[in-house]
Amino acid sequence: MAKNKLFLLDAMALIYRAHFAFSKAPRVNSKGVNTSASFGFLNTLLEVINKEKPTHIGVAFDSKGPTFRHDDFAEYKANRQAQPEDITVNIPFCIKLIEGFGIPVLILQGYEADDIIGTFAKKVASPDFEVYMMTSDKDYGQLVDENIFVYRPAFMGKGPEVYDIQKVLEKFGIKNTDQVRDILGLMGDAVDNIPGIPGIGEKTAQKLIEEYETVENLIANAHQLKGKLKENVEKFAEQGLLSKQLATIHLEVPLEINVEDLIYTGPKEELLMPLFEELEFKTIVNRIFGKPTEDKEKKTPKVSNTGQFNLFGSTEDEKQQEEIVAKKLETIETVAHQYHITESKGTRSALIKYLLAQKEICFDTETTSLEVADAELVGLSFCYLAHEAYYVPIPANKEEAIAILNEFKPVFENEEILKIGQNVKYDYAILQQYGIELKGKFWDTMLAHYLLEPDMRHNMDFLSETYLNYTPVSITELIGKKGKNQGNMRDVAVEDIADYACEDADITFQLYQYFKPLITENGAEKLFNEVENPLINVLATMENEGVRIDNKALAEFSDILLNESAVLEDSIYTHAGVKFNIASPKQLGDVLFDKLKLDPKAKKTKTGQYATGEEVLSKLANTHPIVDNILEFRQMQKLKSTYVDALPQLVSPTDGRVHTSYNQAVAATGRLSSNNPNLQNIPIRTDKGKEIRKAFVPRNDEYQILSADYSQIELRIMAAFSKDESMCNAFKNGIDIHSATAAKVFNVDVNDVNGDMRRKAKMVNFGIIYGISAFGLSQRLSIPRKEAGDIIEAYFREFSIKSYMDSCINEARERGYVETILGRRRYLRDINSGNMTLRGYAERNAINAPIQGSAADIIKVAMINIDAWMKAENLKSKMILQVHDELVFDAHKDEIDYIKPHIESFMKNAITLEVPMEIGIGVGNNWLEAH
């Protein structure tokens, strides 16, 4: 056993790691300072001091400004994004923390932390002196020897990892640790902008170093290589050598400090107590000094562990965050539980009896696929007490499966029992496939967390680790990683799947217990219970219905796009005077900016090629006909590949329809999104894009497509919220809002408003909601920036919108969030940021989120009411699609005249506002005709 143990910490690597560990649920003190990086760094420091008990310790920082590596390569680390403001604010606190523990801060101008650590490690290490380099940086592997180790800190439930020689060799696939430099020299490092040799990735680098041992020897034997690899090694030999040099940790840093200065002497109360008071680290004081801080009972807002403002400054959130950072997460192996396999008819009957006696039960389905249409039910799990659950295997034979499920029908269809689940819509849809209708009220933990923290992830594993301090069994342990070789749940032994399935139900039930009081505390009960949960079966029913696709129409349109693309391609080559790959950004950039000289100030990307994105080309649209050709060519290619050729592949062979999947918990604004296909992105602004809607047709000749669309819903909401008299009157009196706006802005009578005035006013009306600037308006309208600025200034002068916008921002600054009409919250943690870019983005969200979110609330309520009415009326017509502010119906011809006024009424009166809603309804033989 070594007599001495030196820990050398890479400060910035650990500070960044700590900051991003809390990025989804940051700690913010009562002064509005994000202390996540300091808090996480402190916990990491305490962990190593308490668990590893180092005799010596030091913390190294990178110096500011360029280092000796920049002298060799000016572009070194040029790709790195600007340091987050919250990290910059926290660095001085971290330095004070380090000094408060009596630990030296190691820093020297012109050198990086890894050079300082490398120098000390090699200087001190001996059989009597073990050195641990604490970092997550892979470069340190080159320093590892018999007495020097890389110590990767604990993170997200995984304990610390110690890399010795063997582990480094295995990780990099090399023979000695010094070859880490050669691997990095060949493959480069995007983080540090070390170029490497093009075309060589990790696996190729490993093979080459295994054979040639060093970069130098590889270059000397480049003639033995073949093809492109030979060409690249010969062409970029100097770059490879430079990259190896840049990746090499310098071992002769002239820092004047002795090993005796690194002896750990313990925390200094006189330095740390004022700092903890300033940072508001209350419970941690007791851990270090055995006494709490003085509780001043400040009633100032602070952010809780879920990122929400807590007016009472409770320290419970701090305790939980400390545990998440400092403790190893629990697993099925460490927590006592009772999971039962319920396989026989008798045990199922007993379980059903107990389930029927409950007021609330949690359930989950295990299936062979995440796609409902392809999925077979493998098993059911139930839980109504924490740490106890039951698994019911379901056979592959469909008749036998249905027979077992029918036994549970009284449970699933009992309207008095609350059904709890994680992503209940999926389970609802699966049970529908087996003839089971899930009835009663639902409580979806995914949706609960979505309302509590709309910007965070909502999958069960993340929620379990974040809130329950528990890591669930991974699906990959049962069926392997995603890919062609992945198995399915049908192949897993019942004993193994039972633990996995029961754990899912158990965790979900515990999350329900955790989130239920938070939903109440956050005022989200009405929204959750009356909108989000009831919407589950509405969406599941719509997904199950699907929409018929006219494959013939799509095939014809595909041919048209192919022919027109070919014509455009020839035109592009003619204008260019050369044939080239239009899809290659590099070749396109060379043609546009080197050959045709369209923009002498053309910007280049980080890879050194010209930027040729749509935004860049749109600005050049009037400079040369080739640009319009390219933009149109791209549009046709995207339409063809993304929709026209892709939609037929999504048609179900069972019923010939496309079944999109709606996502309730993705858009932070509350809007629904969809995938397979993504209906929200189907183009509607161009004639070619609109053609795609022709392919969405009724199920048969007895039906037509009916489209019901909210007209200018966001503008109407803004008028109602701002209470602007002119806007409200225009909507109440049926006056065209854009003409009314133009009349005000340009100071003319409404009858004298011309098309150009209306166009500009329309752009301002919609742009104001999204915080459009004079520059943005000038770009969209192709007018001088001064004219755009004058229009916006006149707009704010004539309407009271500015005071409403300011009130939204001020409210967000005070509370940390904004709300929709039904209380849907959007948290804006950067609203008080000193960084103008971050603050500006948050301010735009403060204005837009209540409007866009309220539009989402309104259409969701309308959908719920329409669905309930259609089912009660037992109508043949079905609601089949929701896209933006539009609902689409497969309407039976005999019912069209009956359902039109009812649909219009439900949509108009979903939520009453001071400004009336206007609904446009159309009917046709396809979606385009109806829209």
- What is the model's pLDDT at position 840? 82
Give the pLDDT confidence of 527-579 residue by residue, as tens digits: 999 999 999 999 999 999 999 999 999 999 999 999 999 999 999 999 999 99
- What is the model's pLDDT at position 781? 79
Rounded average pLDDT over 32-44: 87
Tell me the C-alpha to C-alpha distance, in Å, between residue 483 and each of 476, 487, 488, 619, 798.
11, 9, 11, 42, 59
- What is the model's pLDDT at position 322? 44
Give dist(CA 18, CA 12) in Å, integer: 10
pLDDT above 70: percentage of residues in the chain? 90
Give dist(CA 819, CA 852) in Å, integer: 11
Residues 60, 10 contacting (CB under 8 angstroms): yes
- What is the model's pLDDT at position 28? 77
pLDDT reading at 762 higher than 80: yes
Q: Which secondary-structure segment (H or E) carries 510?
A: helix 494-521
- What is the model's pLDDT at position 880? 96
Rounded average pLDDT over 691-718: 94
Closest CA to 900 of 723, 749, 706, 724: 706
3-class DSSP assignment, residue 625 = helix
pLDDT reading at 442 higher than 90: yes
- What is the model's pLDDT at position 319? 44
* Mean pLDDT score across all residues of the chain: 86
Rounded average pLDDT over 390-418: 95
Cite the beta strand spans of 757-816 per DSSP E. Answer: none
Give the pLDDT confidence of 600-656 residue by residue, as tens digits: 888 876 567 788 888 788 888 878 999 999 999 988 888 888 889 889 988 888 888
- What confidence category does residue 301 fall into, taking pLDDT thresholds of 50, 70 and 90? very low
Rounded average pLDDT over 841-857: 91
- What confidence category does residue 905 fall into, taking pLDDT thresholds of 50, 70 and 90? very high
Lowest mean pLDDT among 242-256, 688-702, 723-737: 242-256
pLDDT winner (highest mean) among 21-30, 315-324, 431-440: 431-440
- What is the model's pLDDT at position 317? 42
The tokens describing 633, both together, are 């060519």
The tokens describing 191, both together, are 């983080």
Q: Which residue has the higher pLDDT, 779 or 579?
A: 579
- What is the model's pLDDT at position 538? 96
- What confidence category does residue 728 fall into, taking pLDDT thresholds of 50, 70 and 90? very high
pLDDT reading at 824 higher than 80: yes
The tokens describing 761, both together, are 């006013």
- What is the model's pLDDT at position 502? 96
Closest CA to 125 of 60, 56, 182, 61: 56
Contacts of 95 (CB under 8 A, 6+ apart): 61, 105
pTM of the model: 0.68
Q: Which residue has the higher pLDDT, 601 or 361?
A: 361
Give the pLDDT confidence of 458-509 residue by residue, as tens digits: 999 989 988 898 989 887 667 765 555 566 777 778 888 999 999 999 999 9
- What confidence category does residue 841 fall into, taking pLDDT thresholds of 50, 70 and 90? confident
- What is the model's pLDDT at position 82? 61
- What is the model's pLDDT at position 234? 87
- What is the model's pLDDT at position 24? 60
- What is the model's pLDDT at position 286? 67
Helices in 816-920 by DSSP H: which ranges?
A: 836-872, 896-908
CA-based Rg of the chain, rounded to a whole angstrom?
32
- What is the model's pLDDT at position 312? 26
Give dist(CA 900, CA 167) in Å, integer: 69
- What is the model's pLDDT at position 605? 66
pLDDT reading at 407 higher than 90: yes
Rounded average pLDDT over 192-211: 83
Give dist(CA 282, CA 704) in Å, integer: 65
The tokens describing 885, both together, are 């502010």
pLDDT reading at 377 higher than 90: yes
Give the pLDDT confidence of 61-87 residue by residue, as tens digits: 987 766 656 455 455 554 455 677 788
Residues 930, 704 contacting (CB under 8 angstroms): yes
Read off the DSSP letter of residue 104.
P
Residues 336, 387 contacting (CB under 8 angstroms): yes
pLDDT reading at 155 higher than 50: yes
3-class DSSP assignment, residue 591 = helix
- What is the model's pLDDT at position 326? 41
Rounded average pLDDT over 101-120: 88
